[in-house]
Amino acid sequence: MKKLAAFCLLLLALRSGAQTNAQLDPKILTSKKVMDQFMDLRFGMFIHWGPVTLRGTEIGWSRHVQVPAADYDTLYRQFNPVQFNAEEWVKTASDAGMKYLTITAKHHDGFCLWPSAYTDYNITATPFKKDVVGLLAKACKKYNIKFCIYYSVLDWHYPDYPVDNPNDTTERGIRKNAHMEKYVTYMKNQLKELVTNYDPYMLWFDGPWEKPWTPEMALDMYAYLKTLKKDLIINNRLGKAFSGTGASGTARFLGDYDTPEQRIGDLDMNTPWETCMTICEQWAWKPNDKMKSLQTCIQTLARAAGGNGNLLFNVGPRPDGLIEPAQAARLREMGDWLRKYGVAIYNTHGGPYYPNSQYAATRSGNKVYLHVFDPAQQSIELPAMPGIKVTKAYLLKGAAVKLTASADQLMITLPAPLPDANDTVVVLETDKPAMSVAPIKNDKIK
Protein backbone atom coordinates (compact mmCIF):
# COMPACT_ATOMS: atom_id res chain seq x y z
CA MET A 1 0.00 0.00 0.00
CA LYS A 2 2.88 2.39 0.76
CA LYS A 3 4.28 1.88 -2.75
CA LEU A 4 0.87 2.46 -4.29
CA ALA A 5 0.42 5.65 -2.26
CA ALA A 6 3.82 6.87 -3.37
CA PHE A 7 2.97 6.25 -7.01
CA CYS A 8 -0.33 8.07 -6.59
CA LEU A 9 1.44 11.04 -5.06
CA LEU A 10 3.85 11.05 -7.98
CA LEU A 11 1.00 11.70 -10.38
CA LEU A 12 -0.82 14.43 -8.48
CA ALA A 13 -1.00 17.73 -10.32
CA LEU A 14 0.36 19.85 -7.53
CA ARG A 15 0.90 23.59 -7.71
CA SER A 16 2.87 23.80 -4.52
CA GLY A 17 6.18 25.52 -4.00
CA ALA A 18 5.16 28.76 -5.66
CA GLN A 19 8.53 29.90 -6.92
CA THR A 20 8.84 33.57 -7.77
CA ASN A 21 10.87 35.84 -9.99
CA ALA A 22 12.37 37.21 -6.77
CA GLN A 23 14.36 33.95 -6.52
CA LEU A 24 16.10 34.72 -9.81
CA ASP A 25 18.97 37.11 -10.36
CA PRO A 26 17.22 40.30 -11.57
CA LYS A 27 19.96 40.72 -14.16
CA ILE A 28 18.75 37.69 -16.13
CA LEU A 29 15.06 38.67 -16.30
CA THR A 30 13.71 39.75 -19.66
CA SER A 31 13.93 43.53 -19.88
CA LYS A 32 10.87 45.75 -19.49
CA LYS A 33 11.60 47.24 -22.91
CA VAL A 34 11.32 43.83 -24.58
CA MET A 35 8.17 42.97 -22.64
CA ASP A 36 6.56 46.31 -23.54
CA GLN A 37 7.30 45.62 -27.21
CA PHE A 38 5.72 42.17 -26.88
CA MET A 39 2.57 43.59 -25.30
CA ASP A 40 2.28 46.16 -28.11
CA LEU A 41 1.80 43.27 -30.57
CA ARG A 42 -1.55 42.35 -28.98
CA PHE A 43 -2.50 39.51 -31.38
CA GLY A 44 -0.82 36.20 -32.20
CA MET A 45 -1.56 32.83 -33.78
CA PHE A 46 -1.31 29.61 -31.76
CA ILE A 47 -1.01 26.37 -33.76
CA HIS A 48 -1.63 22.92 -32.26
CA TRP A 49 -0.64 20.28 -34.79
CA GLY A 50 0.91 16.83 -35.07
CA PRO A 51 0.22 13.21 -36.04
CA VAL A 52 -2.83 13.08 -33.73
CA THR A 53 -4.78 14.99 -36.40
CA LEU A 54 -5.12 11.62 -38.14
CA ARG A 55 -7.58 10.68 -35.39
CA GLY A 56 -9.24 14.09 -35.01
CA THR A 57 -8.83 13.98 -31.23
CA GLU A 58 -7.14 16.37 -28.81
CA ILE A 59 -3.37 16.57 -28.96
CA GLY A 60 -1.68 14.85 -26.02
CA TRP A 61 -4.76 14.48 -23.86
CA SER A 62 -6.44 11.82 -26.03
CA ARG A 63 -3.50 9.43 -25.62
CA HIS A 64 -4.62 6.50 -23.44
CA VAL A 65 -8.21 7.88 -23.61
CA GLN A 66 -9.88 8.09 -27.05
CA VAL A 67 -6.73 6.72 -28.69
CA PRO A 68 -4.83 3.74 -27.17
CA ALA A 69 -1.19 4.62 -26.52
CA ALA A 70 0.05 1.91 -28.90
CA ASP A 71 -1.98 3.52 -31.68
CA TYR A 72 -1.24 7.12 -30.68
CA ASP A 73 2.52 6.55 -30.46
CA THR A 74 2.71 5.06 -33.96
CA LEU A 75 0.56 7.60 -35.81
CA TYR A 76 3.73 9.35 -36.97
CA ARG A 77 4.37 6.46 -39.35
CA GLN A 78 1.29 7.55 -41.35
CA PHE A 79 1.73 11.31 -40.96
CA ASN A 80 2.25 12.79 -44.42
CA PRO A 81 0.70 16.31 -44.62
CA VAL A 82 1.48 16.86 -48.30
CA GLN A 83 -0.57 20.10 -48.43
CA PHE A 84 1.50 21.77 -45.68
CA ASN A 85 2.86 25.12 -46.79
CA ALA A 86 4.58 27.20 -44.11
CA GLU A 87 4.20 30.41 -46.09
CA GLU A 88 0.45 29.90 -46.43
CA TRP A 89 0.11 29.44 -42.66
CA VAL A 90 2.17 32.54 -41.93
CA LYS A 91 0.40 34.58 -44.61
CA THR A 92 -2.93 33.59 -43.01
CA ALA A 93 -1.62 34.95 -39.71
CA SER A 94 -0.41 38.13 -41.41
CA ASP A 95 -3.71 38.62 -43.24
CA ALA A 96 -5.48 38.26 -39.87
CA GLY A 97 -3.44 41.11 -38.43
CA MET A 98 -1.49 38.75 -36.15
CA LYS A 99 2.00 39.86 -35.19
CA TYR A 100 3.47 36.63 -33.80
CA LEU A 101 3.07 32.88 -34.23
CA THR A 102 3.56 30.01 -31.77
CA ILE A 103 3.86 26.39 -32.95
CA THR A 104 3.61 23.27 -30.76
CA ALA A 105 7.10 21.98 -31.50
CA LYS A 106 6.64 19.36 -28.75
CA HIS A 107 3.35 18.80 -26.95
CA HIS A 108 2.66 16.48 -23.99
CA ASP A 109 2.79 13.49 -26.34
CA GLY A 110 6.51 14.06 -26.91
CA PHE A 111 6.44 14.11 -30.73
CA CYS A 112 8.83 16.69 -32.20
CA LEU A 113 8.02 18.74 -35.29
CA TRP A 114 11.71 19.35 -35.96
CA PRO A 115 14.60 16.91 -36.70
CA SER A 116 15.85 16.66 -33.13
CA ALA A 117 19.17 14.89 -32.68
CA TYR A 118 18.06 13.64 -29.26
CA THR A 119 15.09 11.44 -30.18
CA ASP A 120 13.92 9.40 -33.14
CA TYR A 121 10.33 10.37 -32.31
CA ASN A 122 10.41 13.35 -34.63
CA ILE A 123 9.31 14.63 -38.02
CA THR A 124 12.12 12.91 -39.94
CA ALA A 125 10.66 9.51 -38.99
CA THR A 126 7.41 10.36 -40.83
CA PRO A 127 6.75 9.93 -44.56
CA PHE A 128 6.70 13.76 -44.69
CA LYS A 129 10.20 14.29 -43.23
CA LYS A 130 10.29 18.11 -43.65
CA ASP A 131 11.39 20.36 -40.79
CA VAL A 132 8.10 22.05 -39.87
CA VAL A 133 9.67 24.28 -37.21
CA GLY A 134 12.44 25.42 -39.54
CA LEU A 135 10.08 26.16 -42.43
CA LEU A 136 7.79 28.21 -40.19
CA ALA A 137 10.74 30.15 -38.74
CA LYS A 138 11.86 31.04 -42.27
CA ALA A 139 8.36 32.05 -43.38
CA CYS A 140 7.90 34.24 -40.30
CA LYS A 141 11.02 36.20 -41.21
CA LYS A 142 9.64 36.80 -44.69
CA TYR A 143 6.34 38.17 -43.37
CA ASN A 144 7.84 40.03 -40.38
CA ILE A 145 5.99 37.82 -37.89
CA LYS A 146 7.65 37.08 -34.53
CA PHE A 147 8.41 33.34 -34.37
CA CYS A 148 7.68 31.54 -31.10
CA ILE A 149 7.98 27.93 -29.98
CA TYR A 150 5.72 25.93 -27.65
CA TYR A 151 7.49 23.19 -25.68
CA SER A 152 5.87 20.95 -23.08
CA VAL A 153 7.58 20.07 -19.82
CA LEU A 154 5.51 16.90 -19.87
CA ASP A 155 6.50 14.02 -22.14
CA TRP A 156 4.30 10.95 -21.74
CA HIS A 157 6.27 9.14 -24.45
CA TYR A 158 9.93 9.62 -23.50
CA PRO A 159 11.31 6.72 -21.40
CA ASP A 160 13.10 8.88 -18.81
CA TYR A 161 10.00 10.93 -17.94
CA PRO A 162 8.30 9.12 -15.00
CA VAL A 163 4.66 9.49 -16.03
CA ASP A 164 3.32 7.38 -18.88
CA ASN A 165 -0.41 7.83 -18.32
CA PRO A 166 -1.70 10.71 -16.16
CA ASN A 167 -5.16 9.12 -16.15
CA ASP A 168 -3.90 5.97 -14.42
CA THR A 169 -3.00 6.50 -10.75
CA THR A 170 -1.82 2.91 -10.27
CA GLU A 171 1.67 1.55 -10.83
CA ARG A 172 0.78 0.99 -14.48
CA GLY A 173 0.69 4.74 -15.05
CA ILE A 174 4.37 5.33 -14.28
CA ARG A 175 7.66 4.15 -15.68
CA LYS A 176 9.63 2.28 -13.03
CA ASN A 177 13.02 2.79 -14.70
CA ALA A 178 12.55 6.47 -15.52
CA HIS A 179 15.25 8.95 -14.58
CA MET A 180 14.09 12.56 -14.13
CA GLU A 181 17.60 14.04 -14.05
CA LYS A 182 18.34 12.45 -17.42
CA TYR A 183 15.04 13.81 -18.71
CA VAL A 184 15.95 17.36 -17.61
CA THR A 185 19.23 16.98 -19.53
CA TYR A 186 17.19 15.85 -22.53
CA MET A 187 15.04 18.97 -22.21
CA LYS A 188 18.08 21.23 -22.04
CA ASN A 189 19.62 19.59 -25.08
CA GLN A 190 16.43 20.00 -27.10
CA LEU A 191 15.83 23.56 -25.97
CA LYS A 192 19.39 24.53 -26.86
CA GLU A 193 18.80 22.93 -30.24
CA LEU A 194 15.63 24.99 -30.75
CA VAL A 195 17.12 28.30 -29.57
CA THR A 196 20.36 27.84 -31.51
CA ASN A 197 18.84 26.60 -34.77
CA TYR A 198 15.64 28.70 -34.95
CA ASP A 199 16.29 31.79 -32.81
CA PRO A 200 12.75 32.04 -31.39
CA TYR A 201 11.40 35.33 -30.05
CA MET A 202 9.67 33.42 -27.26
CA LEU A 203 9.46 30.00 -25.63
CA TRP A 204 5.92 29.07 -24.59
CA PHE A 205 6.09 26.34 -21.95
CA ASP A 206 3.25 24.15 -20.72
CA GLY A 207 2.67 21.14 -18.46
CA PRO A 208 4.59 21.91 -15.24
CA TRP A 209 1.93 20.52 -12.90
CA GLU A 210 3.05 16.90 -12.45
CA LYS A 211 5.14 16.24 -9.36
CA PRO A 212 8.32 14.94 -11.07
CA TRP A 213 8.93 18.51 -12.29
CA THR A 214 10.03 20.55 -9.28
CA PRO A 215 10.24 24.29 -8.57
CA GLU A 216 14.01 23.95 -8.40
CA MET A 217 14.10 22.45 -11.89
CA ALA A 218 12.01 25.34 -13.18
CA LEU A 219 14.29 27.98 -11.67
CA ASP A 220 17.35 26.24 -13.06
CA MET A 221 15.78 25.94 -16.51
CA TYR A 222 14.86 29.63 -16.71
CA ALA A 223 18.40 30.60 -15.74
CA TYR A 224 19.86 28.13 -18.24
CA LEU A 225 17.77 29.47 -21.10
CA LYS A 226 18.91 33.00 -20.39
CA THR A 227 22.51 31.88 -20.98
CA LEU A 228 21.43 30.92 -24.50
CA LYS A 229 19.62 34.16 -25.34
CA LYS A 230 19.44 37.06 -22.92
CA ASP A 231 16.14 38.63 -23.96
CA LEU A 232 14.35 35.42 -24.86
CA ILE A 233 10.77 35.83 -23.64
CA ILE A 234 9.60 32.94 -21.46
CA ASN A 235 6.01 32.49 -20.32
CA ASN A 236 5.08 31.52 -16.76
CA ARG A 237 4.44 27.82 -17.34
CA LEU A 238 7.85 26.61 -16.34
CA GLY A 239 6.67 27.17 -12.77
CA LYS A 240 3.74 25.73 -10.88
CA ALA A 241 1.68 28.93 -10.58
CA PHE A 242 -0.12 30.17 -13.68
CA SER A 243 -3.72 30.44 -12.54
CA GLY A 244 -4.56 33.79 -14.10
CA THR A 245 -4.17 37.52 -13.59
CA GLY A 246 -5.18 40.19 -11.17
CA ALA A 247 -4.35 39.69 -7.50
CA SER A 248 -1.78 36.98 -8.27
CA GLY A 249 0.76 39.49 -9.60
CA THR A 250 4.30 38.77 -10.72
CA ALA A 251 5.36 37.46 -7.32
CA ARG A 252 3.31 34.31 -7.73
CA PHE A 253 4.79 32.90 -10.90
CA LEU A 254 8.11 32.18 -12.53
CA GLY A 255 8.45 33.76 -15.94
CA ASP A 256 7.86 36.94 -17.90
CA TYR A 257 4.07 37.01 -18.25
CA ASP A 258 0.87 35.28 -17.17
CA THR A 259 -1.22 32.96 -19.38
CA PRO A 260 -4.95 32.68 -18.61
CA GLU A 261 -6.41 29.89 -20.75
CA GLN A 262 -9.77 29.85 -22.56
CA ARG A 263 -10.80 32.96 -20.64
CA ILE A 264 -9.96 36.63 -20.90
CA GLY A 265 -7.69 38.01 -18.20
CA ASP A 266 -8.63 40.79 -15.83
CA LEU A 267 -7.56 44.40 -16.33
CA ASP A 268 -4.02 44.52 -15.01
CA MET A 269 -1.73 47.49 -15.61
CA ASN A 270 1.27 45.89 -13.89
CA THR A 271 1.53 42.22 -14.87
CA PRO A 272 1.90 41.36 -18.59
CA TRP A 273 -0.54 38.66 -19.66
CA GLU A 274 -1.75 36.79 -22.71
CA THR A 275 -5.01 34.88 -23.11
CA CYS A 276 -4.70 31.68 -25.13
CA MET A 277 -8.00 30.63 -26.67
CA THR A 278 -9.29 28.41 -29.47
CA ILE A 279 -11.10 29.68 -32.55
CA CYS A 280 -13.15 26.47 -32.36
CA GLU A 281 -13.62 24.13 -29.38
CA GLN A 282 -10.65 21.77 -29.63
CA TRP A 283 -7.00 22.81 -29.72
CA ALA A 284 -6.03 20.23 -32.34
CA TRP A 285 -8.02 19.62 -35.52
CA LYS A 286 -11.46 18.08 -35.13
CA PRO A 287 -13.86 17.35 -38.00
CA ASN A 288 -16.72 19.87 -38.14
CA ASP A 289 -15.53 21.62 -34.99
CA LYS A 290 -17.82 24.48 -33.97
CA MET A 291 -16.24 27.85 -34.78
CA LYS A 292 -16.72 31.16 -32.97
CA SER A 293 -18.69 33.89 -34.73
CA LEU A 294 -16.87 36.87 -36.18
CA GLN A 295 -18.46 39.08 -33.55
CA THR A 296 -17.17 36.83 -30.76
CA CYS A 297 -13.70 36.72 -32.28
CA ILE A 298 -13.38 40.49 -32.63
CA GLN A 299 -14.88 41.22 -29.23
CA THR A 300 -12.56 38.64 -27.63
CA LEU A 301 -9.58 40.53 -29.05
CA ALA A 302 -11.02 43.89 -27.94
CA ARG A 303 -11.70 42.60 -24.42
CA ALA A 304 -8.17 41.22 -24.16
CA ALA A 305 -6.65 44.54 -25.28
CA GLY A 306 -9.08 46.36 -22.98
CA GLY A 307 -7.70 44.34 -20.08
CA ASN A 308 -4.16 45.29 -21.12
CA GLY A 309 -3.44 41.80 -22.42
CA ASN A 310 -2.64 39.96 -25.63
CA LEU A 311 -4.70 37.32 -27.44
CA LEU A 312 -3.01 34.14 -28.69
CA PHE A 313 -5.73 32.70 -30.94
CA ASN A 314 -5.47 29.02 -31.81
CA VAL A 315 -6.12 27.12 -35.02
CA GLY A 316 -5.67 23.39 -35.56
CA PRO A 317 -4.62 22.56 -39.12
CA ARG A 318 -5.95 19.43 -40.83
CA PRO A 319 -4.04 16.13 -41.27
CA ASP A 320 -3.17 17.14 -44.85
CA GLY A 321 -1.50 20.33 -43.60
CA LEU A 322 -4.15 22.87 -44.61
CA ILE A 323 -5.81 25.29 -42.21
CA GLU A 324 -9.55 24.75 -42.49
CA PRO A 325 -10.77 27.19 -45.18
CA ALA A 326 -13.59 28.43 -42.93
CA GLN A 327 -11.13 29.19 -40.13
CA ALA A 328 -8.75 30.94 -42.51
CA ALA A 329 -11.65 33.02 -43.84
CA ARG A 330 -12.71 33.98 -40.30
CA LEU A 331 -9.18 35.11 -39.54
CA ARG A 332 -9.07 37.21 -42.70
CA GLU A 333 -12.32 38.84 -41.61
CA MET A 334 -10.63 39.77 -38.34
CA GLY A 335 -7.79 41.22 -40.39
CA ASP A 336 -10.26 43.29 -42.41
CA TRP A 337 -11.60 44.77 -39.16
CA LEU A 338 -8.09 45.45 -37.86
CA ARG A 339 -7.09 47.26 -41.04
CA LYS A 340 -9.85 49.75 -40.22
CA TYR A 341 -9.62 49.87 -36.44
CA GLY A 342 -6.19 48.47 -35.55
CA VAL A 343 -5.07 51.81 -34.09
CA ALA A 344 -7.46 51.02 -31.22
CA ILE A 345 -5.74 47.65 -30.58
CA TYR A 346 -2.02 47.72 -31.42
CA ASN A 347 0.40 49.76 -29.30
CA THR A 348 -2.34 50.66 -26.83
CA HIS A 349 -2.83 50.10 -23.13
CA GLY A 350 -5.95 48.73 -21.51
CA GLY A 351 -8.45 50.92 -19.70
CA PRO A 352 -9.05 53.24 -18.12
CA TYR A 353 -12.44 51.51 -17.98
CA TYR A 354 -12.70 47.86 -16.99
CA PRO A 355 -14.15 45.73 -19.82
CA ASN A 356 -17.77 44.67 -19.31
CA SER A 357 -20.68 43.28 -21.32
CA GLN A 358 -21.27 46.59 -23.14
CA TYR A 359 -17.79 47.82 -23.95
CA ALA A 360 -14.04 47.67 -23.51
CA ALA A 361 -11.61 50.57 -23.58
CA THR A 362 -8.05 51.00 -24.79
CA ARG A 363 -5.91 54.13 -24.69
CA SER A 364 -2.89 55.75 -26.24
CA GLY A 365 -1.57 59.29 -25.90
CA ASN A 366 -4.50 61.68 -25.45
CA LYS A 367 -7.10 59.24 -26.76
CA VAL A 368 -9.39 56.65 -25.23
CA TYR A 369 -10.85 54.14 -27.66
CA LEU A 370 -14.24 52.88 -26.56
CA HIS A 371 -15.20 49.53 -28.15
CA VAL A 372 -19.00 49.30 -28.25
CA PHE A 373 -20.22 45.69 -28.54
CA ASP A 374 -24.00 45.82 -28.98
CA PRO A 375 -24.96 47.11 -32.44
CA ALA A 376 -28.34 48.18 -31.01
CA GLN A 377 -26.76 50.30 -28.28
CA GLN A 378 -28.18 53.84 -28.37
CA SER A 379 -26.04 55.44 -25.67
CA ILE A 380 -23.16 54.73 -23.32
CA GLU A 381 -22.93 56.11 -19.81
CA LEU A 382 -19.40 56.26 -18.39
CA PRO A 383 -18.00 57.38 -15.05
CA ALA A 384 -16.04 60.59 -15.51
CA MET A 385 -12.25 60.37 -15.66
CA PRO A 386 -10.88 62.21 -12.61
CA GLY A 387 -8.72 65.21 -13.47
CA ILE A 388 -9.24 64.85 -17.21
CA LYS A 389 -11.55 66.63 -19.61
CA VAL A 390 -12.86 65.01 -22.80
CA THR A 391 -12.47 67.62 -25.52
CA LYS A 392 -13.91 65.72 -28.46
CA ALA A 393 -15.88 62.53 -29.18
CA TYR A 394 -16.28 60.88 -32.58
CA LEU A 395 -16.50 57.55 -34.36
CA LEU A 396 -13.16 56.15 -35.48
CA LYS A 397 -13.28 56.53 -39.27
CA GLY A 398 -16.50 58.51 -38.86
CA ALA A 399 -18.39 61.57 -37.69
CA ALA A 400 -18.69 63.30 -34.31
CA VAL A 401 -21.00 61.87 -31.65
CA LYS A 402 -22.93 63.80 -29.03
CA LEU A 403 -21.17 64.01 -25.67
CA THR A 404 -22.79 65.31 -22.49
CA ALA A 405 -20.37 65.72 -19.58
CA SER A 406 -21.00 66.36 -15.91
CA ALA A 407 -18.79 66.23 -12.84
CA ASP A 408 -19.27 62.49 -12.36
CA GLN A 409 -20.32 61.05 -15.69
CA LEU A 410 -20.00 61.12 -19.45
CA MET A 411 -23.02 60.38 -21.65
CA ILE A 412 -22.33 59.42 -25.26
CA THR A 413 -25.25 59.35 -27.68
CA LEU A 414 -24.65 56.86 -30.48
CA PRO A 415 -25.90 56.98 -34.07
CA ALA A 416 -28.33 54.38 -35.38
CA PRO A 417 -27.37 52.08 -36.84
CA LEU A 418 -23.82 51.70 -35.54
CA PRO A 419 -21.31 51.44 -38.39
CA ASP A 420 -19.86 48.10 -37.27
CA ALA A 421 -22.02 45.28 -35.91
CA ASN A 422 -19.03 43.54 -34.32
CA ASP A 423 -17.25 46.40 -32.56
CA THR A 424 -17.85 50.11 -33.18
CA VAL A 425 -14.99 52.26 -31.91
CA VAL A 426 -15.69 55.67 -30.37
CA VAL A 427 -12.72 57.98 -29.83
CA LEU A 428 -12.59 60.24 -26.78
CA GLU A 429 -9.88 62.89 -27.04
CA THR A 430 -8.60 64.18 -23.71
CA ASP A 431 -6.78 67.28 -22.55
CA LYS A 432 -4.19 65.21 -20.65
CA PRO A 433 -2.53 61.84 -21.32
CA ALA A 434 -5.10 59.08 -20.93
CA MET A 435 -2.57 56.90 -19.07
CA SER A 436 -2.71 59.31 -16.13
CA VAL A 437 -6.12 57.87 -15.15
CA ALA A 438 -6.28 54.94 -12.72
CA PRO A 439 -8.55 52.02 -13.73
CA ILE A 440 -12.25 52.75 -13.35
CA LYS A 441 -15.03 50.23 -12.76
CA ASN A 442 -18.57 50.87 -13.91
CA ASP A 443 -20.55 49.20 -11.13
CA LYS A 444 -23.79 49.64 -13.06
CA ILE A 445 -22.70 47.11 -15.72
CA LYS A 446 -21.42 43.58 -15.31
Per the rule left: phi > 0, alpha: psi between -120 and 50, beta: everything else, 330 is alpha
What is the predicted pLDDT for the residue at 16?
37
What is the predicted pLDDT for the residue at 252?
64
Q: Report which of 144, 143, 162, 51 is spatially closest to residue 104, judged by C-alpha positions.
A: 51
CB atoms closer than 10 angstroms to residue 178: 17
Is 378 found in the same domain as 308? no
What is the predicted pLDDT for the residue at 23?
85
Is 156 found in the same domain as 47? yes
> Which residue type, as a one-letter code, is found at position 80?
N
Q: Which residues pair with 104 in a beta bridge?
A: 150
What is the predicted pLDDT for the residue at 80?
98
196 inside domain: yes
Among 316, 344, 372, the domain-final residue is 344
> Residue 335's domain is classified under what CATH number?
3.20.20.80
305 inside domain: yes
Query: SS3 for 223?
Result: helix
Among 299, 315, 344, the domain-final residue is 344
What is the predicted pLDDT for the residue at 19?
64
- Please name the helix (run of DSSP H) or strand (run of DSSP E) that holds residue 255, with its range, or none: none
Is 258 found in the same domain as 163? yes
Query: SS3 for 219?
Result: helix
446 inside domain: no
> Residue 360's domain is classified under what CATH number?
2.60.40.1180
CB 152 within 8 A of CB 108: yes
What are the CB-based long-range contacts (under 8 Å, 24+) for 65-71? 65/167, 69/164, 69/165
Is 140 found in the same domain as 21? yes
Is 417 found in the same domain as 300? no
Query: How far, in Å, are 70, 135, 247, 352 from residue 156 at the CA level?
Result: 12, 26, 33, 44
Q: What is the pLDDT of residues 317-349, one digit of tens each?
A: 999 999 999 999 999 999 999 999 999 999 999
What is the predicted pLDDT for the residue at 12?
38
Task: Report how many domains make up the chain.
Answer: 2
Among 314, 329, 344, the domain-final residue is 344
Is 238 found in the same domain as 151? yes
444 inside domain: no
Instruction: Show the domain range for 105.
Output: 2-344
442 inside domain: no
- Please name the helix (run of DSSP H) or strand (run of DSSP E) that holds residue 205, with its range, or none: strand 202-206
Cα angle 325-326-329, degrees, rounded to a multiple of 5: 85
443 inside domain: no
What is the predicted pLDDT for the residue at 248?
40
Q: What is the pLDDT of residues 22-77, one digit of tens each?
A: 788 889 999 999 999 999 999 999 999 999 999 999 999 999 999 999 999 999 99
- Please name the helix (run of DSSP H) or strand (run of DSSP E) that holds residue 188, with its range, or none: helix 180-198
**Ranges in the chain, pLDDT < 70:** 1-19, 243-252
